[in-house]
């Protein structure tokens, strides 16, 4: 097992060199000739210095992403191969005798170990964003957010570990089916509590100060049948120069949110287009389609994880110190398999997400009818976040949940409003 870890590290180094060569040297991010000089060409709305910084920042950010994913897998594999998962299990069993306490302790310490080992990559991402002027967050504030992340993720991990290992012990091979059945109410519950419980842990939310703009946004919301009485503003300028807005939550907990950076850098027409886009997701019920899609993926994912875990534990369990599937020492293996499957499914998930985002763009331009404001808002989003207008293909399929800025602006350039009746 230790030899396998060393081989994995060697492959990881070679992979990292290959990805660096591809992203920093080979990848073509140039604008197609037919769109040079148009509003889709970043040279028309970015300064030469901003163009240079955008290319550098995006390439390094993409490289960090592609290095961090397999690094996470190596952490899980290393915990299994070097006996850390087994040693932690043994210590927990000696410390506590009651199953719920054992599962909570194991999940807590596992979360702490993974968070600590992942911290270098997390800090590198923060430092990169800060160095290029995208992040404005202080180190103290950044660490405070990481502590909040640790708290939220650990609570979820404790809950998941307790439920999953109880199901494994209670139902044996069919544990995955009962786990999937519990996913549905859990996902719905999380969608309800996120806007009012999770999000405020990171930022302060307050009613939009510009009441004239709020009235116009609520007017759009009324046309979209969104049950919202207020528009919320969040103070993100303390953390970033990037722009964003969103509508999240379901039912009575639906919340319209604008970052203060968006209000500072976009004019009224641009803000209304951005909000119309977010409302398009609500009108077309994308959140429910997202929920249904993840329920289907969870079904097949949990089934695959259960079969793969049984096979791996039967074949190599003794080398990893895993006595049986219900052994807590198998938890890093479960997390490893889930991470692998999530990454494998990400191109498909991103394709669906990009389709929904394009549909929301279409909805927004049809609702507002202001092509100039739509194009300029995307240009300002690119400028504020130093985003790539035309990213490499591999980056697009694995990272982009939205169409590229090139695709979004080209769509607006070519958009022709539908003819009204009688014309």
CA 169 – CA 166 distance, rounded (Å): 5
* Distance between start and end Cα atoms, the chain: 73
What count of Cα atoms within 13 Å lies in the side-chain half-sphere of residue 221? 20
Number of H helices, E strands in the chain: 14, 4
Kindly tell me the sign of the dihedral angle through the C-alpha atoms of 235, 241, 246, 248: negative
Instruction: Locate the DSSP E strands across 281-386.
Output: none
Write out the two tokens for 21: 């060569």
CA 294 – CA 299 distance, rounded (Å): 8
Catalytic residue among 199, 233, 356, 361: 361
Gyration radius (Cα) of the chain, Å? 24
Q: 169 CB contacts (<8 Å, ≥6 apart)?
A: 326
CB 199 within 8 A of CB 205: yes
CA 214 – CA 386 distance, rounded (Å): 28
- Per DSSP, 421 falls in state T
Q: Quick one: the chain helix, strand, coil %, rounded to 5?
A: 75, 5, 20
CA 123 – CA 131 distance, rounded (Å): 12
Catalytic residue among 278, 327, 356, 407: 278
CA 312 – CA 327 distance, rounded (Å): 13
- Per DSSP, 196 falls in state I
Has 270 been annotated as catalytic?
no
Q: Which residues are annotated as a binding site?
A: 277, 281, 357
CA 134 – CA 178 distance, rounded (Å): 44
Q: 81 CB contacts (<8 Å, ≥6 apart)?
A: 1, 2, 4, 5, 319, 320
> Could you tell me which residues are beta bridge partners of residue 207?
232
How many other CB atoms are there within 10 angstroms of residue 6's CB atom? 10
Has 361 been annotated as catalytic?
yes
CB 386 within 8 A of CB 58: yes
Q: Which residues are annotated as a binding site for Zn(2+)?
A: 277, 281, 357
CA 311 – CA 305 distance, rounded (Å): 10
> Could you tell me which residues are beta bridge partners of residue 135?
240
CB 92 within 8 A of CB 328: yes
Q: Which residues are catalytic?
A: 278, 361
């Amino acid at each position: 097992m230790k030899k396998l870890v060393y081989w994995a590290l060697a492959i990881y180094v070679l992979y990292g060199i290959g990805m660096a060569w591809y992203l920093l040297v080979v990848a073509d991010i140039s604008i197609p000739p037919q769109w040079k000089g148009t509003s889709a060409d970043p040279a028309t709305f970015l300064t030469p210095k901003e163009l240079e910084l955008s290319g550098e920042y995006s390439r390094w950010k993409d490289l960090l992403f592609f290095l961090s994913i397999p690094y996470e897998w190596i952490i899980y594999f290393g915990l299994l191969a070097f006996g850390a998962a087994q040693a932690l299990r043994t210590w927990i069993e000696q410390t506590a005798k009651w199953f719920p306490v054992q599962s909570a302790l194991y999940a807590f310490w596992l979360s702490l170990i993974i968070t600590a080992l992942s911290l270098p990559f997390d800090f590198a991402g923060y430092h990169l964003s800060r160095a290029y002027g995208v992040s404005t967050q202080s180190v103290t504030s950044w660490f405070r957010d990481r502590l909040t992340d640790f708290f939220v993720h650990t609570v979820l991990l404790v809950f998941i570990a307790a439920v999953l290992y109880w199901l494994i012990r209670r139902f044996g091979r069919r544990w995955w089916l009962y786990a999937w059945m519990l996913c549905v109410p859990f996902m719905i519950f999380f969608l309800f509590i996120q806007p009012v419980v999770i999000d405020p842990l990171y930022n302060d939310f307050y009613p939009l100060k510009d009441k004239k703009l709020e009235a116009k946004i609520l007017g759009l919301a009324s046309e979209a049948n969104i049950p919202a009485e207020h528009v919320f503003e969040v103070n993100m300028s303390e953390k970033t120069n990037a722009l964003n807005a969103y509508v999240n939550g379901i039912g009575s907990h639906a919340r319209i949110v604008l970052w203060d950076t968006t209000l500072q850098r976009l004019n009224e027409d641009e803000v209304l287009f951005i909000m119309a886009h977010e409302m398009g997701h609500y009108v077309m019920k994308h959140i429910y389609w997202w929920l249904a899609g993840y329920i289907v993926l969870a079904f097949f994912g949990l089934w695959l994880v259960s079969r793969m875990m049984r096979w791996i534990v039967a074949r190599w369990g003794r080398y990893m110190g895993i006595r049986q599937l219900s052994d807590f020492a198998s938890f890093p293996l479960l997390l490893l398999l889930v991470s692998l499957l999530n990454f494998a499914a990400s191109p498909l998930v991103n394709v669906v997400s990009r389709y929904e985002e394009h549909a929301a763009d279409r909805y927004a331009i049809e609702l507002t009818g202001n092509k100039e404001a739509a194009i300029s808002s995307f240009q300002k989003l690119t400028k504020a976040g130093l985003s790539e207008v035309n990213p490499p293909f591999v980056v697009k399929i694995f990272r982009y949940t939205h169409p590229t800025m090139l695709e979004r602006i080209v769509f607006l350039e070519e958009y022709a409003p539908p003819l009204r009746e009688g014309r």
